[in-house]
Structure 1
């Protein structure tokens, strides 16, 4: 029996330290552990695999444990007399594989932010180096890091790269390239905004950063989730700032590739269409998206993205997901050693490992060019309830790390061929290696494949199913989800919810071929990209909640137009304005190098029959056309005043609404308010959403010809509203519509929502109106729902 001196029932994970960084051993390294706490020998230890099976029990003398060599996999060591266990991974040595700069599997490390010194007593002093080395041991070839513009460029011409440069060098030394992203503009570049208003400063910082990190940051993104929580400005404001940054990146490093800032909401919002209408696609090589959606939604997400790219002539561009992560495991269920910070249970950690492999394989089969899993270091959100990271707070690796390393080892460099049909309830995907051999990855369908994000999911049910493969050699050699090898002698083969890999399989019939990823960069054309338009709009332009259009009265409104020249040569040219009547346009504009001209203009919209138009600025400078400035304009006041209104009385009956929320939801009719009341209580989870559904009673309630929807709404606590959306759902392969709505008040307010250009309302089968909540308990009411039609 171990006697722990000075400790009572101490945690094995705290006192037993692995020699390998992050407790991630490479195959062939000595499996050495040191006891931080003196003990009276002998030390009795038990070794278990990730399935909790006992592999070995022994005693050891002294303050060190040296285990015999182990196959790749994920393990736990238990010490008699101590609580808990010390987990560790054994993964393939990436030095035994050739470098692959195009590797699909990538990680978001965010280490310059997440591995900084903090109040974590178990954070290692050399945390940046530990994270960098753990990344190398995973086999990853590219990680995504973050930078604060305000922090690194506190004054014009002053640059302080600090630990951002430290991390870039640590990773470069290990052969890992960086995809760099920054936001957080310094005060001197903005004016009561999130995005910069000074486009010369935007260009200069991007250029300086690209120069300083050349050879380390091979890809650059400008901004992060600009359609969601990291910007209050319009889509055209983002497009203008992005153009300036892209020009700077390419000036600082002509070899760098540029990605548009990652769009956070899928299906893509009209905001994204407006960014592209402004010519942003001419400034980037990579279309960039984030998703934390469940596995069942990925096919829908990619269809929507490709439809968007086709609309804007970007079919040949690669698609990157620079953030993908799981909410399927729910809030952390265990208390950590940090007060108020929850952590994953072993069951939740296995759910993450399962999700990671299934997600990445699915994404690759759907033609995504590169996927970054969020996130490598430890990180908590939502009041400490959400536990992120493939590393724990003591900077040791979770099972998801071994799952990622196994993916890289088994499928890195292989070409996805497509999906096969192993049997009912079983997924199978075939990969071909450069030497011609094939690997089959397979799993049994679980709740993770089919369920929405909801609390209470568990990996306890393995969902064992069997299948047979025709005409295969025997034995077949395989690898389980966390890298441990196994052998299959004959058939049948057992599939579980956890993916497994079979090497050197014979010929198998592909049912659904994999979609080949696109690889084309943006192309040079005759457009002068260095002329960039930006506006400051007066209060006569009312920005929509979705930041994708403005509402303008028929009397017009004033605005300031800035014409920026982001080149080292003077430019002379003309501009034109369409979509209405505009006053104040000069006959000729002259702009000095890296300068701007400002114009005070007035715009009076000319609406079409749908009460829409576009304020569009085009130009030609030094004989070359420019990319446009496009501001979609809607006449909501004119529409609600002149349009025909059809009241859907059935929507005022609470019985006709279906519950749809991540918590316990009650739908009742409030007689006093003459409204339908929606009350939701949420469990301790981070993703609190409530979107009750109304199914249209077709054909009498068809939205054919509808221009939009008007309704009244109030909420119990306006400060608890994270966002509010109207969803028009077709139930088919066509694009479902998600429209941002201005946050409701605690008093009755009327909301007008207009359908965007190109949407076909006659295909709508159901409507969802609701919100994402910051509170654990929220109530909202809806009344007087009307559909609007042309006069």
Structure 2
């Protein structure tokens, strides 16, 4: 009954959003960021060499002639984002090729410099940008974040890591997401390296830049794998959860005050990163959470991030496994169209249960047209991506997200699907989407979603309302655009009349790159930011999601089932989702191996009992008594027989166990199984 009501709540919320809610308000539980050290931020300034030809408004621009520009280059023309000619000149001066070209001051915007030889043949191109200097430091509650992975992008390279961090701060970013490799930090069980690693370097640089840092890893150290998991065992979770606990504790201690949040794995529900089942994700999450908190009680431990479309089945799995007390934020990745976020994220909001929902990778990838190492997009697609940025942030925040990480800052392409994600090119020069991110970082600084202004007579017009701190002032910011729910090739073809009434007291209007503009007659595929004195717009009713009531605190006792890798099957409960469940022969006995871990500093005694099983299934035994020493585990076994289905359907159900260990609390384990 309890589970049925929970599922009904998920589906009910999902339907309400689909049929026209004006947005989603999550009534938050305790803010997990309140225990983090306060960062005293200053106004970021460009590095002296202006990496990527990125300047602040008012600075004199000088554009480097990159090494990829042909030696035959003789002339150049500078264009803006609309391909209007801005300036032109010659590369050669008195027979000597210039290393850089002095342009002088330029207005805010993105620029492309195209080179030709003496016969007017193309000789290469580069880019530059001018963004507005921040008037106030980025607030610590700003939702504008970016994935940098800079410890991997610029391994052991202090100069390049510094450039990544600096370009993130110039864009008004609050949090960055980085990467770490387990085996480099712990080359053997029980031993954390004393060597200074690229991850230490990155953490120091990010701390100096005043950035909040989220770290993630997704590959098990060789010594923690088991031969039974095959040649690619590293992409699977460690079988012994004590290894995960010890890693979390060691990393939280080592990076205290510099890494502020952790994801204990990346996209474990899909095949690329292990193809783990929901119960495996829950058991690992519990061990990791306890370990990180043992190392630093104030560090944020997010859910080991889920990707593909959120499903009610995954959310129910978290509920059945009692996972809620073991994460501070519920983290997902999205690569869907932003206009569908609110409709698609219902199960994720239910899993968050009132805790902050973090979207730690977000993009809608676009194909590249040239091969590596540059993987360039067409000029048209570069602009499509830049128009997408503000729209995606607005839709994400309205759908319940509190921290949105655009994927990704550096030049990163996936060859298997021919997609380029990077906001920067290979040499740090900007794509227009970087300038669009800087506009969002400045104008939606500290943004809190208010409402979606309904436009029943203009269905293509979108008006999202936020309370924010553009240029350090408390203001209300409206993000406007007009678009249909279409793919890239059909975007930026829709317009709508200016939708705001004359009564709105408008302070300033900015375009999608953050340039001040006059009031336009119509809106289109490029977002417009309208800054108003608060409260210019009255918040309209939104669908609220109540925080989950969880009386059971995080127990140090963690239950785990261990199944062979070949006893699982990929599932897709809804289209474009992915997960895994166990699969065993129906009608015959299957041995089960389970463990109970004690992550406390005192011995515990208790029982594990069968809580729920399909009526025609059989489990023997159904109760186990045990005593577990501190940081030890106890193996217990059973035999499961699932009955064949009488109607020709695949038999499916779950085994649910409940552990009761007195003052150490209760622990739940639920694993879904299909027959074959």
The normalised TM-score by structure 2 is 0.79
- Partners of 1:288 and 1:571 lie apart in 2 by 32
Q: Is the 8 A contact 2:498 2:523 kept in 1?
A: yes
Say whether residues 1:181 and 2:213 are aligned partners: no
Match of 2:125 in 1: 85
Residues 1:286 and 2:332 aligned together: no
Q: In the alignment, which residue of structure 2 is the partner of 1:632? A: 672
Q: Residue 107 of structure 1 contacts residue 371 of structure 1 at CA under 8 Å; is this kept in 2? A: yes
Partner of 1:22: 52
Contact 2:270/2:276 (<8 A) preserved: no
Question: Is residue 413 of structure 1 aligned with residue 446 of structure 2?
Answer: yes
Specify the alignment match of 2:170 in structure 1.
137
- Output aligned runs, 1:300-311, within 5 Å: 300-306=343-349, 308-309=350-351
- Report the counterpart of residue 325 of structure 1 in structure 2: 363
Which residue matches 2:632? 595
Tell me which residue corresponds to 2:482.
444
Cα offset, 1:362, TM superposition: 0.8
Aligned to 2:400: 367
Deviation at 1:381, TM superposition (A): 1.0
Structure 2 residue 539 is the aligned partner of structure 1 residue 500: no
Q: Secondary structure at the match of 1:100?
A: coil
Quick one: which of 465, 473, 476 aligns to 1:430? Answer: 465
The structural deviation recorded for 1:615 is 1.9
1:582, 1:555 → 2: CA distance?
A: 12
Aligned partner of residue 348 in structure 2, secondary structure: helix
CA RMSD of aligned residues (A): 3.5
Paired position in structure 2 for 1:112 = 151
1:348 aligned residue: 381
What is the SS of the residue equivalent to 1:183?
Answer: coil
> Distance between the aligned counterparts of 1:593 and 1:497, measured in 2?
59
C-alpha distance in structure 2 between counterparts of 1:139 and 1:631, whole Å: 43
| Deviation, structure 1 residue 420 | 2.6
Give the 3 Å change call, closer, same or farther, for CA 153–539 of structure 1 in structure 2.
closer
**Structure 2: 5+ residue runs without aligned partners?**
1-46, 572-578
**8 Å CA contact 1:563, 1:597 repeated in 2:** yes
Aligned counterparts of 1:354 and 1:39: Cα–Cα separation in 2 = 31
Q: Greater Rg, structure 1 or structure 2?
A: 1
Q: Which has the higher strand share?
A: 1
Matched length = 590
- Asked if 2 retains the 8 angstrom alpha-carbon contact of 1:538 and 1:557, the reply is no
Contact 1:27 1:92 survives alignment (8 Å): yes
Q: 1: distance between equivalents of 2:383 and 2:325?
A: 42
Cα pair 1:538 1:559 within 8 Å, conserved: no
Name the SS for the 1:195 alignment partner: coil
1:771-790 equivalent positions in 2, closer than 5 A: none
Question: What's 2:253 paired with?
Answer: 211
Picking from 578, 588, 591, the partner of 1:558 is 591
Distance 1:625 1:607, change over 3 A: farther
Residue in structure 1 matched with residue 44 of structure 2 by the alignment: none
Secondary structure in structure 2 of the residue aligned to 1:133: helix
Q: CA deviation at 1:266?
A: 0.5
**Could you say what secondary structure the match of 2:525 adopts?**
coil
| Correspondence 1:55 to 2:55 | no
- 1:299, distance to aligned residue in structure 2 (A): 2.3
Kindly indicate whether the alpha-carbon contact (under 8 Å) linking 1:417 and 1:513 is maintained by their aligned counterparts in 2: no
Distance 2:59 2:353 in 1: 46
SS of equivalent residue, structure 1 residue 392: coil
Flag the 1:343–1:47 CA change in 2: closer, same or farther, 3 A. Answer: closer
Superposition deviation, residue 317 in structure 1: 1.3
What secondary structure sits across from 2:336 in the alignment? Answer: coil
Equivalent-residue separation in structure 1 for 2:317 and 2:454 (angstroms): 41
Write the distance in 2 (CA, Å) between the matches of 1:169 and 1:27: 29
Larger RCO, structure (CA 8 Å, separation 6 or more): 2
Provide the residue aligned with 1:243 in structure 2.
Answer: 286
Q: Distance in 2 between matches of 1:188 and 1:444?
A: 54
Residues 1:162 and 2:197 are matched in the alignment: yes
Partners of 1:59 and 1:182 lie apart in 2 by 48
For 1:24-39, what aligned pairs fall within 5 Å after superposition?
24-35=54-65
Task: Describe the shift of the 1:569–1:401 C-alpha distance in structure 2 as closer, same or farther (beyond 3 A).
Answer: same
Matching residue of 2:489: 457
Q: Distance in 2 between matches of 1:623 and 1:36?
A: 66
User: Which residue of the other structure, out of 290, 301, 312, is the alignment partner of 1:258?
Assistant: 301
